[in-house]
């Protein structure tokens, strides 16, 4: 997708949006490969500035494939990495040295002497001279031809955290709290994440002749918007990119979601110019956007409100009748509210339900939880309602969630077992199994509170969990798909709930949904499949934005308390920041904040006032996920 409307006064740098992270990776790899080939033809070396983290993994896979299948050679490539934790040894599983060799260099014909990564295993007293030396080496190589960058939720590029000046060079820096808590799940606890790092400076980065900012995942949507639509400030170091004359941001739909062109495309000009039309979906989106922007109840919006906010085209399309538009927005939310997420006992069919089995009662319902805590975090209230209303509820836990458990918890359980006279297995496999068992206990206790018996819980242990202390390639395997397909066939569900979260390209929620999508494709011809009603809850305990909500299940004050009790069964997670992009407060606080915010928004917009609400949408609302 290219810029849909050239006259975009919100964006300060060129942007290219692709549907998913893989497509983004191909675009970046193509540009790097073309640059290497062109320089080679000119008899020149190519000097690349490289990044680490979860975002560029796909680019590195794509480059390795070009090397293996298209004879792209890296013999004339010199690389400089942006940053490295400090202190850290090169062989530490979390070091960027190890990341770069495992993900890229060891698969290429690059000469080891051409690889440069800031050293994390030097004495503090040597850091400043080592940084100067790094800058000197970049200059001697002729400067960076192309710098690949990610962005952190703190707004950092490299590890230039908020406050980094535009003139900064390679140096030691203290990591921002957001950066450390985002890294905490990988390190199995915030306290294990290093507090410092060595990073190229803003000036070092901006001196590159070409800069690519690659961002994927909806957890980055807010910071992307600030970086490209906000004012230049050292509080958001990525905004300094606005001063570069050859930069492009390459985004997937998740990372681009908050940009004005996607959030409120009507502000850019006539919808038709952007390949869109004023259909029911766009009208409702605009009405809800307007109500939120003005802080007014939907049914109180006036013609003046529409005109003043830039919705003249919509109002004109509706013959100037604001009230007709208001009603459309209002009924969209009103019709989404149901206390009967699985259908009513009398077999009548509440509006949001779809599929041939919508009026079947009771239903067989299968809930997919990517990690053991996702189900209760995001839909603990709905789970309990479904069970209480007589449905047969099954829950499939896709990964063991073992890796997010702090080591101290395992040690305590092992001590308990030893003091009780039990003998426990040793070695990595036995330990991993013990971690998984602890997480299963949490999930079983939480499900019991929601009224789901243990025999309807399935611990699938799919392959894409983090493995403690290992650098793993995270992807869905054929065996994962088979495991899910077999369960689908066994349960033959009338209704499915799954987590959707376009977070990291290799994030557990994304892979959880991808594995289900492939299993649904494999079972599409079975009789239950065509009648099945599929719903998505938003992963990590968060809620859908208003325009996406197609089912809102209200929770009473006592249901809120029960949900909280269910979530606190995952008490072994309390010490670690397990939710991607969360700060480490209590899990139940995070989820109840989202549920309450949704209920408050409904109230503010002039709908009924509930204590709390859980929200769901259909897959076809979330492009490029289940429906491809």
Positions marked catalytic: 161
**Minimum separation from the CB atom of position 622 to ligand PGA (A):** 21
Asked if 152 touches ligand PGA (CB under 6 A), the answer is yes
Sequence length of the chain is 628
Smallest gap from Cβ 389 to ligand PGA, in A, equals: 40
Tell me whether residue 54 or residue 463 sits nearer to ligand PGA (CB atom): 54
Residue with smaller CB distance to ligand PGA, 218 or 533: 218
Question: Which CB atom, from 256 or from 487, has the smaller least distance to ligand PGA?
Answer: 256
100, 104, 115, 151: residue in contact with ligand PGA (rule CB under 6 A)? 151
Q: What are phi and psi of 366, to 5 degrees?
A: -120, 120
Least Å from the CB of residue 53 to ligand PGA = 3
Q: Supply the angle between the helices 427-449 and 374-388 in degrees, to the nearest 10.
A: 40
Residue closer to ligand PGA, measured from CB, 53 or 230: 53
Q: Environment class of residue 231 by beta-carbon count within 10 Å: exposed (0-12), middle (13-18) or buried (19+)?
A: exposed
Measured from the CB atom, is 53 or 87 closer to ligand PGA? 53
Among 49, 120, 150, 541, which residue interacts with ligand PGA (rule: CB under 6 A)? 150
- Mapped onto helix, strand or coil, the DSSP state of residue 394 is strand
The vertex-191 CA angle with 190 and 196, nearest 5°, equals 90
Query: ∠558-559-561 over CA atoms, to 5°?
Result: 65
* Position among 11, 31, 39, 53 found at the interface with ligand PGA (CB under 6 A): 53
**173 vs 193: CA distance, rounded Å:** 14
Q: Which is nearer to ligand PGA, 185 or 329 (CB)?
A: 185
φ and ψ at residue 459, rounded to 5 degrees: -100, 100
How many angstroms separate the Cα of 1 from the Cα of each of 210, 224, 565? 21, 17, 45
- Work out the number of other CB atoms within 10 angstroms of the CB of residue 297: 15
DSSP state of 363: P
Per CB under 6 A, does 55 bind ligand PGA? yes
254 binds ligand PGA (CB under 6 A): no
As a whole number of angstroms, the distance between CA 69 and CA 163 comes to 44
Of 53 and 310, which CB lies nearer to ligand PGA in the complex structure? 53
Q: How far is the CB of 151 from ligand PGA (least distance, A)?
A: 5
Q: Indicate the burial class of 521 (C-beta count within 10 angstroms; 0-12, 13-18, 19 or more).
A: middle
For ligand PGA, which residue of 8, 54, 170, 515 counts as binding (CB under 6 A)? 54
Number of residues that bind ligand PGA (CB under 6 A): 6
Distance (Å, whole) CA 158 – CA 148 = 10
The least CB distance from residue 518 to ligand PGA, in Å, is 25
Cβ neighbors of 6 (< 8 A, separation 6 or more) are none
Contacts of 517 (CB under 8 A, 6+ apart): 625, 626, 628
Q: Is 49 in the site for ligand PGA (CB under 6 A)?
A: no
- Strands ordered across the beta sheet of 533-538: 457-459, 392-397, 364-369, 495-500, 533-538, 612-617, 551-555
Name the minimum Å distance from CB 152 to ligand PGA: 3
Encoded one letter per residue, x for contact with ligand PGA by CB under 6 A and - for no contact, window 310-349 reads: ----------------------------------------
Nearest distance from C-beta of residue 463 to ligand PGA, angstroms: 20
Of 145-153, 188-196, 242-250, 527-535, which part binds ligand PGA (CB under 6 A)?
145-153
CA dist 260 and 140 (Å) reads: 42
Of 508 and 612, the one with the shorter C-beta distance to ligand PGA is: 508
155 binds ligand PGA (CB under 6 A): no
Query: Which residue has its beta carbon closest to ligand PGA?
Result: 53
Residue closer to ligand PGA by CB (options 104, 288) is: 104
CA 151 to chain centre: 14
Contact predicate 201/486, CB 8 Å:
no
Cβ distance to ligand PGA smaller for residue 151 or 410? 151
- Taking the least distance from each CB to ligand PGA, the nearer of 237 and 554 is 237
> Hey, which residues between 93 and 112 contact ligand PGA (CB under 6 A)?
none
Select the span of 85-93, 148-156, 291-299, 580-588 touching ligand PGA (CB under 6 A): 148-156
Nearest distance from residue 42's CB to ligand PGA, in Å?
31
Cα dihedral angle (415, 416, 421, 425), rounded to 10 degrees?
-60
Binding to ligand PGA, residues 449-478 (CB under 6 A): none
DSSP state of 164: -
Q: How far is the CB of 55 from ligand PGA (least distance, A)?
A: 3
What angle, 0 to 180 degrees and rounded to 10, lies between the N-to-C axes of helices 427-449 and 557-567? 170
Q: Which stretch binds ligand PGA (CB under 6 A): 52-60, 266-274, 384-392, 402-410?
A: 52-60
Specify the pairing of strand 196-199 against strand 83-86: antiparallel
Q: Please, which residues have CB within 8 angstroms of residue 505's CB and are 6 or more apart in sequence?
A: 20, 21, 22, 54, 55, 57, 58, 216, 217, 252
Nearest-approach distance from CB 133 to ligand PGA, in angstroms: 24
Q: Which of 201, 158, 160 is nearest to 50 (CA)?
A: 158
CB of residue 625 to ligand PGA, shortest distance in Å: 20
Contact set with ligand PGA (CB under 6 A): 53-55, 150-152
């Amino acid at each position: 997708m290219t810029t849909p409307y050239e006259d975009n006064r919100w964006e300060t740098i060129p942007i290219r949006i692709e549907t998913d992270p893989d497509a983004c990776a191909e675009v970046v790899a193509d540009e790097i490969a073309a640059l290497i080939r062109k320089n080679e033809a000119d008899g020149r070396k190519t000097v690349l500035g490289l990044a680490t983290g979860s975002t560029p993994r796909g680019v590195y896979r794509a480059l390795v494939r070009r090397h293996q299948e298209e004879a792209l050679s890296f013999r004339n490539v010199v690389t400089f990495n942006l940053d490295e934790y400090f202190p850290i040894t090169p062989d530490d599983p979390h070091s960027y040295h190890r990341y770069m060799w495992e993900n890229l260099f060891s698969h290429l014909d690059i000469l080891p002497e051409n690889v440069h990564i800031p050293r994390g295993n030097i004495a503090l007293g040597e850091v400043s001279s080592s940084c100067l030396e790094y800058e000197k080496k970049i200059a001697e190589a002729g400067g960076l031809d192309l710098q690949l960058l990610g962005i952190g939720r703190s707004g950092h590029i490299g590890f230039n955290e908020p406050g980094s000046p535009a003139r900064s060079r390679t140096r030691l820096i203290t990591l921002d709290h957001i950066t450390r808590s985002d890294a905490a799940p990988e390190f199995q606890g915030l306290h294990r994440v290093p507090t410092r790092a060595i990073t190229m400076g803003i000036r070092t980065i901006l001196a590159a002749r070409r800069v690519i900012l690659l961002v994927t995942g909806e957890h980055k949507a807010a910071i992307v918007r600030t970086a490209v639509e906000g004012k230049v400030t050292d509080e958001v170091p990525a905004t300094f990119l606005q001063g570069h004359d050859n930069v492009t941001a390459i985004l997937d739909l998740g990372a681009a979601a908050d940009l004005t062109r996607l959030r409120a495309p009507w502000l850019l000009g006539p919808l038709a110019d952007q390949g869109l039309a004023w259909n029911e979906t766009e009208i409702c989106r605009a009405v809800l956007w307007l109500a939120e922007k003005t802080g007014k109840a939907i049914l109180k919006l006036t013609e003046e409100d529409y005109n003043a906010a830039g919705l003249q085209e919509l109002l004109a399309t509706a013959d100037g009748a604001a009230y007709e538009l208001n009603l459309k927005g209002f009924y969209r939310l009103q019709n989404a509210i149901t206390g009967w997420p699985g259908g009513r006992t009398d077999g009548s069919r509440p509006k949001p339900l779809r599929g041939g089995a919508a009026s079947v009662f009771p239903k067989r319902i299968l809930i997919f939880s990517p990690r053991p805590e996702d189900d209760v975090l995001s839909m603990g209230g709905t789970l309990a309602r479904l069970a209480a209303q007589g449905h047969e509820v099954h829950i499939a836990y896709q990964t063991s969630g073992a890796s997010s458990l702090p080591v101290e918890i395992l040690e305590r359980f092992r001590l308990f077992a030893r003091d009780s006279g039990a003998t426990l297995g040793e070695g990595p496999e036995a330990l991993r199994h013990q971690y998984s068992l602890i997480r299963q206990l949490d999930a079983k206790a939480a499900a019991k509170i929601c009224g789901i018996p243990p025999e309807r819980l399935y611990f699938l242990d799919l392959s894409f969990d983090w493995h403690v202390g290992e650098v793993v390639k995270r992807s869905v395997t054929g065996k994962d798909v088979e495991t899910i397909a077999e369960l689908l066939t066994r349960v033959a569900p009338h209704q499915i709930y799954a987590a959707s979260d376009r977070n990291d390209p290799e994030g557990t929620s994304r892979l959880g949904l991808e594995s289900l999508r492939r299993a649904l494709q494999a079972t599409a011809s079975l009789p239950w499949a065509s009648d099945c009603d599929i719903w998505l809850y938003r992963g990590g305990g968060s809620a859908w934005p208003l325009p996406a909500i197609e089912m809102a299940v209200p929770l009473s004050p006592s249901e809120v308390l029960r949900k909280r009790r269910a979530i606190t069964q995952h008490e072994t997670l309390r010490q670690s920041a397990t939710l991607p992009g969360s700060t480490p407060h209590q899990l139940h606080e995070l989820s109840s904040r989202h549920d309450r915010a949704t209920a408050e928004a409904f109230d503010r917009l002039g709908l009924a006032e509930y204590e709390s609400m859980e929200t769901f949408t259909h897959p076809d609302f979330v492009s490029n996920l289940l429906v491809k």
